[in-house]
């Protein structure tokens, strides 16, 4: 009877032991799957374990064993490798809040996994924001171009222009502080688009007003021009001689055309500009035209910010010129415009990519008496690549360099490719390598272009091993890249 009772008790207790061990079996399957990198199966098994026993702990009895039970830690690893860093961080936070893992050897690993998940979240956020960031930057660039076009059309006095300028400043401010915020970049893009629309409206309004003024002026018939009648001094005046007995006073002869002669200069004096005023007008117009050309060729945010400042300075000089009344003021404005233009040229040269060596040979071999062949100021100061003997640059090579210096890298590369198909020279290979390297630095996928630049540099060095790039003239990255190709590192 006693044996029967013990057997009955064991039979009743067996389901209890099985129910107690179910969470442990699922936990073991989950940890084994994590170590085998079968993360989907691991996540399913660990979630089953948590459904049966959600509390972590150490020295938990299961059957005859005392075990460490930290399913949130292992589930976090599985979720991280399944591409869910947010879910992984939630699991690890719950594990740390329960406190059991802090007393195990897994705690240091948990901290490492948390750092990895946070880094991955930042990377995902940056990748997600890269597209909107580029779109916002392009929209701001288009707004800057629209601003320059509106100012050139004379629309900078309209309400639309002022509102567009405020919108552009707001878009720039939001773009700078957006960080990895996708919504902020999209908001900056929308604001920049609104600024572009306002600038376009200002330009159209200015063109319509200009056309209306021209039509009104054409509709008014010209006034007949008064002709000054000058009485010659040699014309004898008519006099009447009275008889001697009865003398009478001589009649007064009035020359009516004489006032017309005196009046003529006063009618045209207001239309005559002094030499100082003409020079000031030319200097300001040349400065503002330089700004407009630079805006069209700008490629980087630093160039756009510089040109925004210069646009405001140009508008200030234009207003001062309109308000000037004497030669001293005109001369001061002309000097200021010339100084601003010289400073702008220097600053743009500093912000432009390092030019290739071809123009140096052009400058050295082009006669100074040929104005058509004289390079622009930005080209004459271009850095040179030193080599054993600098041959005379061909017209095609000069054209390719001008395209490169203007920022048209694709046209420069096409011209150089055509030139190399006809006649392969070290200078052409070197210039094409520099153009391709510059394109690679501006590209989001630079590997293919860097490989092409490397091939061009090697071809140039094969023809002329003495080629070098001046470290004081070219960018350090370009010089370092060329030296690595040259030395074979």
Per-residue CA distances from 169 to 8, 166, 192, 199, 309 (Å): 86, 5, 9, 13, 12
| Distance (Å, whole) CA 199 – CA 192 | 10
Task: Enter the tokens of residue 448.
Answer: 């293919």
pLDDT confidence of residue 82: 92
pLDDT confidence of residue 12: 45
- End-to-end CA distance of the chain: give it in Å, rounded: 90
pLDDT confidence of residue 134: 86
pLDDT confidence of residue 297: 79
Give 82: exposed, middle or buried? Use CB within 10 Å, 0-12, 13-18, 19+.
Answer: middle
Low-confidence ranges of the chain (pLDDT < 70): 1-21, 221-273, 352-393, 472-473
For 258-297, the DSSP string reads HHHHHHHHHHHGGGPPPHHHHHHHHHHHHHHHHHHHHHHH
Provide the whole-model pTM: 0.32
Q: What is the 3-state secondary structure (H, E, C) of 40-101?
A: HHHHHHHHHHHHHCCCCEEEEEECCEEEEECHHHHHHHHHHHCCCHHHHHHHHHHHHHHCHH
Q: What are the b/e assignments for 7-38, b being 16+ CB within 10 Å?
A: eeeeeeeeeeeeeeeebbebbebbbebbeeeb
Digit-coded pLDDT (tens) for 292-331: 888 877 778 778 888 889 898 989 988 998 889 888 998 9
**Which of 378, 487, 473 lies closest to 434, judged by CA?**
473
Q: Are strands 57-62 and 385-386 parallel, antiparallel or unpaired?
A: unpaired
Task: Enter the tokens of residue 318.
Answer: 């234009």
Task: Enter the tokens of residue 430.
Answer: 């070197």
């Amino acid at each position: 009877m006693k044996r029967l009772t013990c057997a009955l008790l064991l039979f009743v207790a067996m389901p209890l032991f099985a129910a107690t061990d179910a969470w442990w079996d699922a936990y073991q399957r989950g940890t084994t799957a994590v170590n085998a990198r079968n993360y989907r199966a691991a996540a399913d098994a660990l979630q089953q374990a948590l459904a049966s026993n959600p509390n972590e702990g150490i020295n938990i009895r299961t059957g005859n064993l005392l075990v460490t039970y930290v399913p949130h830690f292992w589930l976090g690893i599985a979720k991280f490798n399944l591409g869910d860093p947010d879910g992984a961080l939630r699991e690890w936070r719950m594990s740390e809040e329960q406190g059991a893992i802090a007393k195990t050897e897994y705690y240091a690993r948990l901290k490492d996994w948390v750092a990895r998940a946070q880094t991955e979240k930042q990377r995902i956020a940056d990748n997600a924001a890269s597209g909107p960031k580029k779109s916002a930057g392009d929209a701001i660039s288009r707004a800057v171009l629209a601003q320059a076009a509106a100012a050139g059309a004379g629309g900078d006095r309209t309400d639309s222009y002022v509102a567009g300028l405020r919108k552009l400043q707001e878009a720039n401010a939001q773009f700078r502080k957006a960080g990895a915020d996708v919504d902020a970049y999209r908001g900056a893009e929308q604001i920049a688009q609104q600024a572009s629309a306002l600038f376009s409206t200002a330009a159209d309004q200015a063109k319509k007003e200009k056309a209306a003024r021209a039509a009104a002026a054409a509709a008014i018939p010209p006034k007949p021009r008064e002709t000054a009648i000058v009485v010659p001094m040699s014309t004898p005046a008519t006099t009447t001689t009275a008889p001697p007995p009865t003398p009478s006073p001589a009649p007064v002869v009035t020359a009516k055309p004489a006032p017309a002669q005196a009046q003529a200069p006063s009618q045209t004096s207001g239309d005559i500009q002094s030499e100082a005023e003409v020079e000031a007008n030319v200097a300001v117009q040349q400065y503002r035209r330089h700004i407009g050309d630079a805006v069209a060729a700008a490629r980087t945010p630093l160039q756009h910010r510089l040109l925004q400042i210069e646009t405001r300075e140009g508008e200030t000089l234009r207003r001062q010129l309109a308000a000037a009344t004497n030669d001293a003021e005109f001369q001061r404005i002309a000097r200021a415009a010339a100084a601003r233009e010289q400073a702008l040229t220097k600053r743009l040269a500093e912000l432009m990519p390092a030019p290739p060596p071809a123009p140096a040979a052009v400058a050295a071999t082009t006669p100074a008496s040929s104005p058509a062949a004289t390079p622009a100021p930005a080209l004459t100061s271009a850095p040179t690549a030193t080599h054993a003997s600098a041959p005379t640059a061909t017209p095609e090579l000069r054209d390719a360099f001008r395209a490169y210096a203007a920022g048209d890298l694709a046209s420069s590369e096409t011209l150089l490719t055509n030139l190399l198909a006809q006649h392969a020279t070290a200078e052409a290979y070197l210039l094409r390598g520099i153009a391709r390297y510059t394109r690679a630095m501006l590209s989001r996928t630079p590997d293919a272009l860097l490989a092409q630049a490397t091939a061009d540099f090697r071809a140039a060095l094969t023809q002329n091993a003495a080629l070098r790039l001046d470290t004081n003239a070219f960018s350090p990255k370009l010089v370092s890249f060329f030296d690595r190709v040259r030395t074979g590192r």
